[in-house]
Amino acid sequence: MPRTVKEGSYGFKKFKDCGVQSWYMTSQQGAWKASEANLNYAKTVISSVKSSGRLYKNGLGMIASENIVSPMVQDIVASDLHGRYAEGLPGKRYYQGCDDFDTIESLGIDLAKEVFQAPFANIQSTSGTVSNIGALKALAKPGDDITAVSTADGGHISHARMGAVGLRDLNLTTYPWNEERMEPDVDAACETIRATKPKIALFGQSVFLFPTPLKEMAEAAKEVGATVMYDGAHVLGLIAGGQFQDPLREGADVMTGSSHKTFPGPQGGFLLSSSEDEAFQRRLNNAMFPGVCSSYHLHHVAGKVMALAEFKEYGEAYAKDTVVNAQAFASALASEGFDVLAEARGYTASHQVLTRHGELDSGAGAKAAARLERAGIITNMNMLPGDTKAMTPSGLRLGVQELTRVGFTSSDMEEVARFYARVLLHDEAPEAVKRDVAEMKAERQVIRYCFNDEGRSGYPE
């Protein structure tokens, strides 16, 4: 039992094994404190959080949709803003107490416009998918037609009937696909757009190796009055860093994206537009609030603003180094004997690398991912062209953006490729490789390309 304290006063007991603090109050009516049973739930959560942190601290995070944020962003995300509300836009709020957050969001809008060279930016979205839902709400009505990349060819699930496109009840037609080039078949896609006359022509993928040949397809979309939408979730940091393509200058009216993949911020999204039309911009803002967001995770928005400031300073170098590392990694994997897709095009022009590990729908990708995790290498299985079963695909989708963020170079990527070969080609015990992985990662803990003069690690102590 805790010691007795004065009536109405508070104290706490700290459980040293997991860091849980049990708060209690005593009064004339008796003392109360958390039960051991419920504290055990807290211990389980905290223990699992710490274990996950150690996994990434000691291992290689290579999931293409993840990244690690800077120490300053981490501080902001853990701030008091996490529980606050600010519905509306800066200066037009439904709550009091928003003056300071108005300063933050206004700065973020200005920085996003500058970083992405966009006349319009909304930074409220809580994810890339929410950005897509908001854009679809603004641009089309239920029953309208939309064209997009099939999920089987690498399109994101939000582009499909199972996701945001279905949520908005849009009629989907997918583009013919050029498997060798890993992009839409341009001529056939233009014919599809002209025949379908969609309300929205959507481009961009989840499996995204090369820039989309956007200009010609955007011209076809304009011919039939379609709005051109580009989902840059995976490659948004590469776009902002000038290392991929420039969709808003290549015909896209709207660009959506995530703030936590190649753009190295906290989880969230962006909604951007090349349009100067104020009425069109109002539609986009209204689609975000009140359309798909109420309060919109102010701590994450503030974290995005810090990440935008850091990206303005370091983003070009980060994007360039990320692409260089991906290309070096792909080449090294091929040299080790792996089947790396798109060899004829130099494997990749993004942060992603695709490898095939067995027959179509064989589950070889899932087995490879599980074995790599035992070696401290975190990846994800992925469908490749020809696969039809999402849970038993033949491939892996690999990303180098987090490794780049902590200082891995192109020569380091050759060693990483050897780890893959030891586990998957030479049948070495994953536990033995894991020790070497941890030794390599121990020297690369400091988060770079950000305001971090103190040399702080982004991983837990």
Domains in the chain (CATH in brackets) are: 1-35 (no CATH), 60-70+314-442 (3.90.1150.10), 71-307 (3.40.640.10)
In this prediction, residue 288 carries a pLDDT of 97
Locate tokens 């982004």: which residue?
458
Q: Stretch 78-82: mean pLDDT, rounded? A: 96
- φ/ψ of 225, rounded to 5, equals 80, 20
Checking if the pLDDT of 20 tops 70, the result is no
Torsion of CA 379, 384, 390, 391, to 10 degrees: -50
Q: What is the C-alpha to C-alpha distance for residues 289 and 255, in angstroms, rounded to an integer?
A: 17
Q: Residue 144 burial (CB < 10 Å; 0-12/13-18/19+)?
A: middle
Give me the phi and psi of 98, to 5 degrees please: -105, 5
Percent of the chain with pLDDT over 90: 91
- What 423-430 contacts at long range (C-beta under 8 Å, 24+ apart), as own/partner pairs, is 423/371, 423/372, 423/374, 423/375, 423/377, 424/338, 424/357, 424/368, 424/371, 424/372, 425/336, 425/337, 425/338, 430/371, 430/372, 430/374, 430/375
Residue 21 pLDDT class (50, 70, 90 cuts): low
Taking residue 219's Cβ as centre, other Cβ atoms within 10 Å add up to 13
Give the pairing of strands 88-89 and 92-93. Answer: antiparallel
Q: What is the pTM of this model?
A: 0.92
23 pLDDT more than 70: no
Q: What is the mean pLDDT of the chain?
A: 94
- For 405-460, the pLDDT digits (tens) are 999 999 999 999 999 999 999 999 999 999 999 999 999 999 999 999 999 998 98
**Banded pLDDT at 69 (limits 50, 70, 90):** very high
Residue the block writes with tokens 């896209």: 252
Q: What is the pLDDT of residue 460?
A: 87
Q: pLDDT higher for 69 or 15?
A: 69
186 residue type, one letter: V
CB 82 within 8 A of CB 268: no
Q: Which residue has the higher pLDDT, 417 or 18?
A: 417
pLDDT band, residue 196 (cuts 50/70/90): very high
List, for residues 209-266, the tens digit of each pLDDT value: 999 999 999 999 999 999 999 999 999 999 999 999 999 999 999 999 999 999 999 9
Amino acid 2: pLDDT: 43
H helices of 8-117, in order, are 36-58, 71-77, 99-115
> CB of 319 within 8 A of CB of 349?
no
Residue 190 confidence class, pLDDT cut points 50, 70, 90: very high
pLDDT at 33: 82
pLDDT in tens, 24-47: 554 555 567 889 999 999 999 999
| Residues across the chain | 461
Q: What is the pLDDT of residue 4?
A: 41
Instruction: Determine the Cα–Cα distance for residues 130 and 127; give it in Å rounded to an integer.
Output: 5
If you write DSSP's letter for every residue of 203-226 in order, what string do you get?
E--SS--S---HHHHHHHHHHTTP
| Whole-angstrom distance, CA of residue 118 vs CA of residue 405 | 26
pLDDT tens string 352-367 = 999 999 999 999 999 9
Q: What proportion of the chain, given as a percentage, has pLDDT over 70?
A: 93
| Model pLDDT for residues 298-341, shown as the tens digit of each residue | 999 999 999 999 999 999 999 999 999 999 999 999 999 999 99
| pLDDT of 22 | 56
Residue 461: pLDDT band (50, 70, 90) is confident
The token pair that represents 79 in the structure block: 């701030």
